[in-house]
Amino acid sequence: MKKTFVTLDQLREITQEYPTPFHLYHEKGIRENIRQLKKAFAWNEGFKEYFAVKATPNPAILQILKEEAAGVDCSSLTELMLADLVGFSGQEIMFASNVTPEEDFILARKLNATIILDDITDIDYLEKVAGIPETIGCRYNPGGLFVINNEIMDTPNEAKYGFTREQLTEGFKRLQHKGVKHFGLHAFLASNTVANEYYPNLAKVLFETAVELKNETGAHIEFIDLSGGIGIPYHPEQQPADIFDVGERVRTVYEKVLIPAGMGDVKLYTELGRFMLGPYGCLVATAIHEKHIHKEYIGLDACAANLMRPAMYGAYHHITVMGKENEPYHHKYDITGGLCENNDKFAIDRMLPKIDIGDLLVIHDTGAHGFAMGYNYNGKLRSAEVLLKEDGSFELIRRAETPADYFATFDVINSFVSKLF
């Protein structure tokens, strides 16, 4: 069974000040995890983790990662603004986007971020709106199927991202002509896998492609970005990826492919979001309703607006009924929220201890792509975010939305209200 990083007594203390629902993050776990990642790739002198901001866009979380010498991976204007607000700049920022608006490229150049181009047409567009930097990366889409051990991990041929192999060669030559001196290569070929083989297999594709590009164009490949894709074990019976084994396997490929090609100075980057934060966040909610019809239902004060993944993907998130961890799991429930949508369920036919009104439930592994995917359907308001600090104290790092926040963008209503008063 999965264990929570917070105790019932701690939650009772927190909920006295901040009512449920809220997302809770574990500072100690976050710091320990990034330190392990850095150790696993310490053999590569230039290694750097660029945390995927989209996974958990909170300045307090980004500040923790900055203190641990991570950079940030941004994909939009507001993510760049958030990175700038926290104090990231220059080579601490990776900007990898697609269908990119003009203002996004302009800000990325202003911050001197390292830009990853998603498409060959971006070359002329970037030059026109913001200018071409001396260092730039290109995202590679090899097409076909990405297979590990005869298992299809993903279908790059169906993905909207990246250059084709032929476009990479053409793109490098055009960028060289426009003054680029240092290049990077990037790819993302699988999502949320705990297979230790993923990064090494991806690395082989990228390393071999980098050698080919160097031979074809004479370009200096400064970095190779393995992007994200390493996932977490959402199910309790799953085993996590062994990041030290992953690191050593990538090292083997590096020494086999890049070093003989005279490319032993290539820096390796990662852009991990889910792996970095997923297990170190949870959604805390209170049971506020029970229903006995054709099935047994427990309704929470949280809903899919607070955690979209189960409704959107049918994704599994483990649930702990706090204080009842050692009781028999004899009751079968659908755990639901209050949206006017039947897929607003955190669990379906889940065996759990008997749940009583007022029980606190912890929904595990929401530290990445949890709060970030929230929305306001049915007029539901986004929850607070709270940080459980290393010393056991807690801090509000984002307040819960209020109805005033919901109505704030309706100028016509604001005008009407101002006339009344």
Length of the chain: 421
What is d(CA 26, CA 60) in angstroms, rounded to the nearest whole number?
Answer: 12
1 inside domain:
no
* The pLDDT of residue 113 is above 60: yes
**Same domain for 178 and 62?**
yes
417 inside domain:
no
pLDDT of residue 86: 98
Where residue 233 sits, what CATH number does that domain have?
3.20.20.10
* The pLDDT of residue 288 is above 70: yes
**Same domain for 218 and 357?**
no
Domain count within the chain? 2
Omega cis (within 30) before 57: no
* The pLDDT of residue 421 is above 60: no
**Same domain for 179 and 221?**
yes
* The pLDDT of residue 232 is above 80: yes
- Residues 111-139 have a mean pLDDT of 98
- The pair of structure tokens assigned to 246 is 């992953």
pLDDT of residue 145: 63
**Same domain for 182 and 232?**
yes
Q: CB–CB of 337/344 below 8 Å?
A: yes
pLDDT-derived band of residue 192, with 50, 70 and 90 as boundaries?
Answer: confident
* The pLDDT of residue 418 is above 80: no
Percent of the chain with pLDDT over 90: 90
pLDDT of residue 387: 98
310 inside domain:
yes
Burial degree of 139 (CB within 10 A; 0-12, 13-18, 19+): buried
The whole-chain average pLDDT of the chain stands at: 95
* The pLDDT of residue 420 is above 80: no
b (16+ CB within 10 A) / e for 30-55: bbebbeebbebbeebeebbbbbbbbb
**Same domain for 336 and 234?**
no
* The pLDDT of residue 94 is above 50: yes
* The pLDDT of residue 203 is above 90: yes
Look at 368 and 188; give whichever has higher pLDDT.
368
**Same domain for 253 and 111?**
yes
* The pLDDT of residue 17 is above 50: yes
Percent of the chain with pLDDT over 70: 95
pLDDT-derived band of residue 98, with 50, 70 and 90 as boundaries?
Answer: very high
Q: Given 225, 243, 278, which residue is the final one in a domain?
A: 278
Q: Given 255, 278, 301, which residue is the final one in a domain?
A: 278
| Domain range for 341 | 281-407
pLDDT of residue 1: 80
User: What pLDDT digit, counting tens, does each position of 46-75 carry?
Assistant: 999 999 999 999 999 999 999 999 999 999
36 inside domain:
yes
**Same domain for 286 and 274?**
no
pLDDT of residue 152: 47
Phi-psi region of 341 (alpha: psi -120 to 50; beta: other; left: phi over 0): beta
Q: Which amino acid is at 277?
A: L
- Residues 178-202 have a mean pLDDT of 93
Q: Given 236, 253, 278, which residue is the final one in a domain?
A: 278
360 inside domain:
yes
